[in-house]
Structure 1
Amino acid sequence: MSIGAAARRIRAYGGRFLLLAALTMIVMLLISGMPRVVNWRTDQGLRTLLASQPAEKRDLTYTTSDPVFSAGNGTSLMDAFEADLPRKQAEMPPDVRRLVDQRWFTAETDPGRVGGPDLAAKNLLVDLGLRNMPGIAEAGTLTEGRWPDPGARADQPVQVALAAEVARKLNLRVGSRLTLARTPPAEGGAAYPPEMAEAIPDPVPISVVGVFEPREPADGIWQGLPPILRVVEPQKDGQPFIALGVVDRAAMDRLSDLGWGLRFGWRYRLVADGIDARDVPGLIDSFQRMGQRAQGFTFVQGLDLPLREFMAAVAAARTVLAVIATGVLATLAGLVVLATGLTVRRRRTEFTLLRARGGAATSGARRSLTESLLVVLPAAAFGWLLGNLAPGAPGNTAATALVAAILATLALPVATLAAPTGVAGRRDLIKLRPSARRITVEAGLLLLAGLAVVLLRRRGLILGEIDPLLVAVPVLLAVAAAVLAVRLYPWPLRLLSRLAARARGSVAFLGTARAGRAMVTTPLVVVVLAIATAAFCAVVAAGIETSRDGAASRQVPADALIRGERIAPETGAELERLPGVRAAAPVLQEAGERLASDAIGRDARLGEVNVLLVDGPAMARVVRESEVGVTVPAVLLAPGGQPGPLPAVVSPAVAADLAAAGLDRSAFVAVQGQRYEFRVAEQADSFPMLRAESGRFVILPWQSLPRRDTAAVPTGFLVAGDDLDVGELRGVGNEGQRRFQKGGTVTGGDPPREVEVRTWAETRRQLGEGSANGVLVFGFVAGAAGGTVLGLLAIAFVVLAGARARGQVLSRLRTLGLSRRQWRGLLLVELGPLVGVAVLTGALVGALLPLLLTPVLGLSTFTSGAPVRVAFEPRLVAAIVALGAVALGFAVAVEALNNRRLRLGEVLRLGEES
């Protein structure tokens, strides 16, 4: 075959070859570029996840398991153990070692009981530990005094520097004199080895010589545990404050010689920018090996869990993306088939003439192969190179790209071989009936699609792997639905055509008659596949968003949730007086309570439960004002003053235990020291404000509590309002805590910790910013947009498939006096059912696919563990109607442009097959 002759033919049919080249280029672009973009978004999500983690979670920490005591031979423990800092890093696996950004060495004593005049003045019980931190002089700024002197004499007190916050909290200053004694084991201190049980060191005199503040509080040197910049407050009455002071190396060796055990730590911070998603599995394995090899040391790392959660989310996202990509690529493959079919149909006379002049049966195919090599292969190479320009690591798609390029190149010659070369008759004058072979194939396709769905649901899948059955099910269902629609939709149209024949006017009759005889199976299948892909993306995305809303509402069932210790009850009224606040409701939560069988408190031996008290009517009002998707159970709305046990909502596990013990009608639970009788009135798998994994809880109605000498005190408040100021809410909550503490019979000496304020909007935002969420959003947007665009392109093929026959009919009818307005009406009536059926069938398949596939896709990783429920979405119906209207308008526009190009007035003069 002559290359020049092939080039001239390509030029003569340039539009069709350009379309085929563009489709091939897009296919190769997606195959090479999409994995890169997905990997890029995945790496971005991983780095965002690591950057959002507290800095301490990126630390790898080795600590000595037990105190180390001096051997008494004059060897410095500090020198010996500090030398392990670079050695331990050198022993790390290479993938971990290259991520180390900073490292710190610490040596410290166990906290010992300190006493002194300044502590006694405030009646403070304090345990003080001493820590040496190389580099602290560069990281801190002295506000008073000086740093400990390493040249101090051994007979002088140990010199200590304290953080400014620690000194203020403990009433200490430069010049304060303290005495440090070893805390006896019975009081919670670490026990000594048996051989040194009687060698408890003598008290050590201490002198505070300096007070410092950090230059940069976020510097990693300050983030070791226990913290050195603040005091650890006691959790219960009678427990001491715990603090740390800074000493020099010589003081640590001196303390070691005096019999004090030292604990050593080596901390390494990993940089978040030096990692990508491909390194994560190996990194997790390296962490496990490091923990196994840490003989004699305690190894702690905080990245294992978030990295595992990230990999689970990425695996689920990649599984969903595989379904979307398969739908898009299958649609493109169908468009390539349609493009080659149009090209071959347009050149049918050429191939027939070639055979009539003595050409072999493969002559047309060889000619098409030459043309395809000149057009498709360069387009495929250009698409592959263009896709490789996308950011991100390349995927293993070379083999897939090669197969796709070969198939695209062979599509045109294969279509030429399959095309009939005889003279076609008037297809619009005969009644086409499907052959028995075709009916058998279509019935087998329907059975295969149903069987594939059953098998997939029964065996499940492994997330993250490209499962052939998973990616085949959506395509099979779409094709089966399209075939079913092709067989069913002509029947009502033929009935309408008979009814229209009895009415006046020819537009409705001719339009329905032609629509009922249309046979466009392949274009319709492609349209259904494209629209199904877009609808699947839209439905699953809407389901995930709805489930995230529900998850946020279960965590924060109001516009804001304030949690603290005990907050004065009148705080609710103060909250309602804040700007924007419409309602507030008290809540009380206590964990680890035991169920009792009687009012005396006899343990029912049924395990611990979480107890939550809610004011039912007030909570219902807050929920209503906040417009969150939460329903307060009716049993919690009952008015107070009812006799008998309180109606309670309990978890199924607690209900089963109570029923087995015969206590479901009367059981007791303690709340803030008061015991209340309750009965099981309703069961619930979960309840707002409780953890998702909390399987044992009892919910009581606050408004129904019997009067007691000591009333229940809220531990939090639900708040409804607009434009809430978190700072104001926190301030009112903190003031409520302080007021309750100071207003009681026994007042504490130190203010409680600040309340926690969580807003629904912030909780919802955090749920939507998961590590792999960017990958999923990209897949949904690309799938929905690509499916819609390809669907419209497929509709153009549907129109072009019958454009020649419609052009001839319209040409005759225009000759007989059909007006331009009637002509447009005829186009709408003829194309409307076809386009409508294609769009509606694709939308139905796309809406049903999530119902079939969601249980096996693992989408709960994107909703904080909440199951994704796909429900009816009114916006989807509106989108389908809008898409149908756009598709119909697009079809009519394509038909009009095609008729203008064909010049309908010349069609009859040129002949049937012009």
Structure 2
Amino acid sequence: MRVLRLARTHRGAVAVLALLVLSACVLVAGLPRTMQAAFDGALRQSLAAAPAYQRDVAVELRSSGPESDLREPAQFASYGEQYRDLVPEPLSDLLDGTGHASAKTYDTPVNGSGGRTYLNLGWLSDGERRVEWAEGRAPGSVGTTRWQGQTVPLYEVGVSAEARDMMGLKVGDLKILGESDFAAVKVVGVFRARDAGDDYWSHNGEILHVTRLQPPGSLDYEHYTTALIADAGLARLSGADRNLSYRWVLPVDAARTGARQVDELDAAVTEFERVLKVRPGLVSGTVVSTGLPGLLDGFRAALATAQTVMFLVLGGLLVVALGVILLAVRLLVDRMDRALSLTRARGGSLRQVAGTGAVLVAAVVGPAAAAGYALSYLFPGPVPPVVHAGPVAVAVAAVAFAAARIAVAHRAPLHERREDVVAARPSARRITLELLVVGLALAGAYLLRTRGTAAGGLDPFLLVVPLALTLAAALITMRCYPYPLRLLVRAAAGGRTAVAFLGLTRAARTGSSGVLPVLILLPALGVSVFASVISGSVASTQRLASWQAVGAPVKITSDRELTAGEVERVRQVPGVARVVPVQLADVQVGHTAERAEVIAVDLAGWRELVAGAPVSLPAPPAADSGIPALVSHELRGRGTFEIGWQSRLTITTRDVVTAVPGFFTEGKFIVLPFDVNPRPVVNALLVSGAADRAALARAVPDARVETQAATLAAIQADPMTGTVSATLLVVTVALAGYALVAVLITLVIGAADRARALSLLRTLGLSDRQARRLTVLEILPMVLVTALVGLGLGLGLPAALGPGIDLSAYAGGLAVGGYDLDLTTPAALAAGLAVVAVLGAYAHAAISRRRDVSAVLRVGDLS
């Protein structure tokens, strides 16, 4: 039998099969690449946004005396090279080749300050090219001076401009350090960073800035800073008389990272720590300091959720695509049935007949799958293993199904198949198996909600349960579908016309082989509805998160008091509709060292400003007597108490609030009326309207301007968030297309039997209009029933999966719950299917009308 002749004879079915395989392979091989590229981009963005001291790898050593002191820059360079050589792969591949070393003292008090001022000494391996001198000069040699009858070392140091302003350190000042082992420092210069935004200063912030701390139980603050010393000062530093630590920083290049390296990077950090402990020849006591594992853990949680959602929707897409492809294979095999039966009757072996069909299908799907695989390389991103496996699985499944179907159909020569048999009674074994599947699906959904998901990555259980639920819904639909139709048949039997009775009867008598192809619609509708529900819920939660982060359409905050003129300039900016002033402060609680954050605002005006927004604000407290206050949970139960602000105020607790949108989400805070102070000190503004952000920033140049729209855009701009949303949209559209194709192929598969029945009925007086109605009634019930079941499945999947899907990483940190019930997409899909079914039925009836009855009916059919 010639395969090419069969292909030419059935070129329509061959073309449909090739197009379906091509589209499926493009999607199953291309979308994972886009997903992986988004995962990599999200990891790089996450690491790049993290402070360098968390992202980079540092090796630390505390000096304990002369035997462990490092006094020469060359020693630091030598140890740095050794440490870099010991970093295992793939962590070593991420190091950018730069780095620096430092030596710093810590907890060094200024003599006579009462433990409230600390001036540490710091040496940087490349400090001379990182700073520029605003006053004085760079520090130089180390001398000596006398103090309390002792000769102590005298270091020349340089201090930052911030230390000069906040701690009063001026060029020429001489300070004595220590309470027992004394040293003197002389300020010879004031420096500023050449690039204060460089990641370098994330590791050396104590040199550039002043740290202000309030010890527990104290009302005073302690001030810490680190002064720069020269190489000569390094040669004099020793762990014998100072708290001294050495540090080597190995910067990590975030652009070189990939999501598939997450687990390997964790293992590499652990291995690096182990090697440093056992490596001979290095200074003992070295430890690895890095926040990289913590950053990777946070990303891993978001990645696991993204992978789960992606595997669910892409798995559903693959199942539906395979189902439609198998329908197309069935269409092609059924078209070849007469030729194959003739070959079998003439002595052809079962292997020859099945092999011929399999070769024809392979000749179609092989090149189509290869073309789809090649086209997938147009998608950006790396190549995960599923890119190679997906097209192969599609081609193998199509060929195997063709061979199996032909082998079963032609296992005996001239095997007559009774097409008029409605259905066989299912065996007890089959019923038991189907009940087992349904029971396991329900039990899996229950366990998933009760036990949660496995920690530490993708949970296979989370992937199996949706598949089991879909299969269970399909089995229930297939078994229960005929029964309500038979009730309708009984009702239609008493009607005046026979069309409704005949159409519903044919629909109710459809056997399992006829119902099964249409059930491809079930996972298509279920997954598409699930994707639309997830997408809509994430979008609404993103909007809520942006409002909770800002608290108003626009929020303007400043570290100083805003003048009346500045507030008026904001009011005059074009597009500003309303301005609510706010006072923010850090106050003393009672007469103790306890502190709390305070916001004084007109809550009624604020509520009017955000009317219609999804954010909820507390109601203004009743002012029966005294100053009413809303307090956080940490301050509840105190009744009436005092706070120290501009003056001593006595406030009365009226209610407890969990958060104040735009300002407080945790900790100790208090909400007070705006007029609580005799003279309000406004340092924040809440603005509504359509004003330009740049214009507002020009009105108050040194203030921070945040907008709800920009915050929402930042949440949506995350690479992983954007890819999840885009993939959900693409999958929804693709599933809708496959569902429509499944309806059309189902109509074509049953076309011959349907044409024969309509031709027979036309000999009995059936009109063309009645023939079209009959065809619609035959097809439409199954489509509508499957659409309703698929809709219910898609709406139920988010609730069934429950805690297994944590989408907070894509919604600004807020948990996505109470999934929105948006029926727009499902209703449009169901309507589209119904329209296609009606149009297909009408087209088929029109084609059947043009056929000659003698070309359809055989001799004896009318007897």
Query: TM-score band, normalised by the shorter chain?
Result: 0.7 to 0.9
The correspondence for 1:621, drawn from 589, 608, 624, is 608
Does residue 305 (structure 1) correspond to residue 294 (structure 2)? The answer is yes
Task: Kindly provide the CA deviation profile for residues 52-74 of structure 1, in whole angstroms up to 9, marking residues without a partner as x.
Answer: 334454333345546977999xx
Task: Kindly provide the CA deviation profile for residues 354-385 of structure 1, in whole angstroms up to 9, marking residues without a partner as x.
Answer: 45445566664344344445444555556556
1:408 alignment partner in structure 2: 398
Does residue 850 (structure 1) correspond to residue 850 (structure 2)? The answer is no
2:549 alignment partner in structure 1: 555
SS at match of 2:578: strand
The correspondence for 2:673, drawn from 702, 711, 716, is 702
- Does the 8 A contact of 1:19 with 1:339 survive in 2? yes
SS at match of 2:815: coil
- Does the 8 A contact of 2:33 with 2:387 survive in 1? no
Amino acid at match of 2:204: L
The correspondence for 1:53, drawn from 12, 35, 50, is 50
2:269 alignment partner in structure 1: 287
Give the Å deviation of 1:688: 3.0
Amino acid at match of 1:276: G
The 1:373/1:459 distance shift into structure 2, 3 A limit, reads same
More moved, 451-460 vs 378-387: 378-387
Q: Equivalences for 1:633-648 in 2 at 5 Å?
A: 633=618, 636-640=619-623, 642-643=624-625, 646=628, 648=630
- Does the 8 A contact of 2:529 with 2:825 survive in 1? no
SS at match of 1:273: helix
Amino acid at match of 2:620: L
Amino acid at match of 1:527: L
SS at match of 2:294: helix
Give the Å deviation of 1:821: 6.6
2:315 alignment partner in structure 1: 326
More moved, 845-854 vs 566-575: 566-575
Amino acid at match of 2:303: V
Q: Equivalences for 1:712-791 in 2 at 5 Å?
A: 716-725=684-693, 728=696, 732=700, 756-770=704-718, 772-791=720-739
1:43 alignment partner in structure 2: 40
1:267 alignment partner in structure 2: 249
1:392 alignment partner in structure 2: 382
Equivalents in 1 of 2:584, 2:135: separation in Å?
45
1:277 alignment partner in structure 2: 259
More moved, 78-87 vs 233-242: 233-242
SS at match of 1:558: coil
Equivalents in 2 of 1:557, 1:153: separation in Å?
58
Amino acid at match of 1:702: P
- Does the 8 A contact of 1:843 with 1:880 survive in 2? yes
1:316 alignment partner in structure 2: 305
Give the Å deviation of 1:86: 2.4
Give the Å deviation of 1:903: 7.6
The 1:266/1:257 distance shift into structure 2, 3 A limit, reads closer
1:632 alignment partner in structure 2: 617
Equivalents in 1 of 2:377, 2:750: separation in Å?
39
The 1:220/1:324 distance shift into structure 2, 3 A limit, reads closer
Q: CA RMSD in A?
A: 4.9
Task: Kindly provide the CA deviation profile for residues 811-855 of structure 1, in whole angstroms up to 9, marking residues without a partner as x.
Answer: 567788877777666655554444333333222211111111132
2:6 alignment partner in structure 1: 9
2:280 alignment partner in structure 1: none
Give the Å deviation of 1:226: 3.2
Normalised by the size of structure 1, how large is the TM-score?
A: 0.76
Amino acid at match of 2:269: F
- Does the 8 A contact of 1:10 with 1:17 survive in 2? yes
Amino acid at match of 1:97: S
1:580 alignment partner in structure 2: 575
Task: Kindly provide the CA deviation profile for residues 425-454 of structure 1, in whole angstroms up to 9, marking residues without a partner as x.
Answer: 674xx7667546576665554434323322
The 1:243/1:731 distance shift into structure 2, 3 A limit, reads farther
SS at match of 1:523: helix
The correspondence for 1:338, drawn from 327, 335, 341, is 327
More moved, 255-264 vs 370-379: 255-264
- Does the 8 A contact of 1:59 with 1:301 survive in 2? yes
Amino acid at match of 1:860: S
Give the Å deviation of 1:272: 1.7
More moved, 242-251 vs 154-163: 154-163
Give the Å deviation of 1:691: 5.8
Equivalents in 1 of 2:669, 2:158: separation in Å?
50
1:453 alignment partner in structure 2: 445
The 1:810/1:306 distance shift into structure 2, 3 A limit, reads same
2:150 alignment partner in structure 1: none
The 1:904/1:418 distance shift into structure 2, 3 A limit, reads farther
Give the Å deviation of 1:583: 3.1
2:337 alignment partner in structure 1: 348
Equivalents in 1 of 2:673, 2:531: separation in Å?
44
Q: What are structure 2's unaligned runs of at least 5 residues?
A: 146-152, 278-283
Does residue 840 (structure 1) correspond to residue 788 (structure 2)? The answer is yes
1:476 alignment partner in structure 2: 468
The correspondence for 1:863, drawn from 811, 831, 837, is 811
- Does the 8 A contact of 1:65 with 1:298 survive in 2? no
Normalised by the size of structure 2, how large is the TM-score?
A: 0.80
The correspondence for 1:89, drawn from 84, 87, 95, is 84
Equivalents in 2 of 1:306, 1:691: separation in Å?
24
Equivalents in 2 of 1:405, 1:213: separation in Å?
62
- Does the 8 A contact of 1:592 with 1:610 survive in 2? yes
The 1:907/1:477 distance shift into structure 2, 3 A limit, reads farther
The 1:154/1:465 distance shift into structure 2, 3 A limit, reads closer
- Does the 8 A contact of 1:114 with 1:179 survive in 2? no
- Does the 8 A contact of 1:68 with 1:263 survive in 2? no
Task: Kindly provide the CA deviation profile for residues 472-522 of structure 1, in whole angstroms up to 9, marking residues without a partner as x.
Answer: 332333343344445555566666667777777776666555555555311
Give the Å deviation of 1:701: 5.3
Amino acid at match of 2:81: P
The 1:702/1:164 distance shift into structure 2, 3 A limit, reads closer
Q: Equivalences for 1:403-442 in 2 at 5 Å?
A: 405-419=395-409, 422-423=415-416, 427=420, 435=426
2:175 alignment partner in structure 1: 181
Equivalents in 2 of 1:332, 1:34: separation in Å?
14
Give the Å deviation of 1:270: 1.5
2:749 alignment partner in structure 1: 801
The 1:789/1:254 distance shift into structure 2, 3 A limit, reads same
- Does the 8 A contact of 1:141 with 1:213 survive in 2? yes
More moved, 614-623 vs 418-427: 418-427
Task: Kindly provide the CA deviation profile for residues 596-651 of structure 1, in whole angstroms up to 9, marking residues without a partner as x.
Answer: 8xxxx799xxx997766553312311221xx3212234xx33453x1489474654
The correspondence for 2:99, drawn from 96, 99, 103, is 103
SS at match of 2:251: strand
Equivalents in 1 of 2:239, 2:13: separation in Å?
91
Give the Å deviation of 1:526: 0.2
Task: Kindly provide the CA deviation profile for residues 769-789 of structure 1, in whole angstroms up to 9, marking residues without a partner as x.
Answer: 446324423542342222222
More moved, 104-113 vs 478-487: 104-113
Equivalents in 2 of 1:98, 1:880: separation in Å?
48
Amino acid at match of 1:393: V
Equivalents in 1 of 2:129, 2:783: separation in Å?
74
1:881 alignment partner in structure 2: 827
- Does the 8 A contact of 1:160 with 1:247 survive in 2? yes
Amino acid at match of 1:637: P
Does residue 543 (structure 1) correspond to residue 537 (structure 2)? The answer is yes
Equivalents in 1 of 2:262, 2:297: separation in Å?
8
Equivalents in 2 of 1:177, 1:373: separation in Å?
85
Equivalents in 2 of 1:223, 1:338: separation in Å?
61
Amino acid at match of 1:471: L
Equivalents in 1 of 2:234, 2:457: separation in Å?
55
